[in-house]
Amino acid sequence: MLKNNVGKLVIVGDSTVGKTALLQTFLSSGLEFSEKYNLTMGVVASIKEIYFANHNDPVILLFYDCTGLDLYHGTLSKYWKTPDMLLAVYDVSSASSLNHLNEWIELIKTTKWTKNEVQYPISCAIFANKTDLIERRIITTEKGKEIAGKYQMQYFEGSAKTNDGINEIFHWFSEKWHDYSIKVELNY
């Protein structure tokens, strides 16, 4: 059993980009999506144990779904000061959510930290949400990939509503954390 198998994943982005819906869809294995919008106040923590067919040890991801409201930035900083992984989310039908994504990433980049000579967060990705809104889409895949490249982050896109791309993003994080956990254990 891996000793270091619990990874902290912080999810950031503007309000209404679908951070909570994205996480709920993943946690329910794609069985749960609500059209009703509930504003996240502060931070909502969730946990999921993830098993792999090709690994003996599961990983446990501890998710911190952070509100997109500016008034909470001061209190939220304690959650993103030491994340193991970072997921930044924007809405493909909202130019302002992509513009603000730059601000979110810059804010978190200033809090990078080092432990045992390893730079954290270990893995960072951008998720372009709401791709099911084909007629309302204004941000192209190419533009999203350009932003991800600028910050040296992985790029994913999909829809919390249709469960498209959801497993890919969270399994990518799970694999990255599993690989990191093995490296840490081998160095002990």
Interval 89-143: pLDDT, tens: 999 999 999 999 888 887 776 665 555 555 656 788 999 999 999 999 999 999 9
Which domain does 61 fall in, by range? 6-187
User: Over the stretch 146-177, which tens digit does the pLDDT of each residue have?
Assistant: 999 998 999 999 999 999 999 999 989 988 88
| Residue appearing with tokens 């204004």 | 138
- The pTM of the full predicted model, rounded to 2 decimals, is 0.84
User: Is residue 24 domain-resident?
Assistant: yes
**In whole angstroms, what is the distance from residue 45 CA to residue 27 CA?**
12
- Within a domain: residue 1? no
Higher pLDDT, 83 or 71: 83
Mean pLDDT for 23-46 is 66
Residues 6+ apart with CB under 8 A from 33: 21, 24, 25, 160, 161, 163
> Which band of pLDDT confidence, cut at 50, 70 and 90, is reported for residue 11?
confident
With contact defined as beta carbons under 8 Å apart, do 164 and 158 qualify? yes
Tokens standing for 105? 């990433």
Domain annotation covers residue 170: yes
d(CA 143, CA 49): 33
Q: Is 85 contained in some domain?
A: yes
CB of 11 within 8 A of CB of 66? yes
How far, CA to CA in Å, does 170 sit from each of 21, 90, 165? 13, 16, 9
With 80 as the cut, is the pLDDT of residue 8 above it?
yes
Map tokens 């994913």 to a residue: 156
d(C-alpha 27, C-alpha 23), whole Å: 6
Residue 75 lies in a domain: yes
Amino acid 122: pLDDT: 75
Type of residue numbered 94:
S
Q: How many domains does the chain have?
A: 1
User: Is the CB of residue 70 less than 8 Å from the CB of residue 108?
Assistant: no
Residue 178 identity = H
Whether 13 is in a domain gets the answer yes
Q: Give 93-119 as a DSSP string.
A: T-HHHHHHHHHHHHHHHTT-EEETTEE
Q: Of 120, 98, 123, give the one whose Cα is nearest residue 110.
A: 120
Between CA 27 and CA 108 the distance in angstroms is: 25
CATH number of the domain to which 15 belongs: 3.40.50.300
Residue 104 belongs to some domain of the structure: yes
Report which DSSP code applies to 164: B
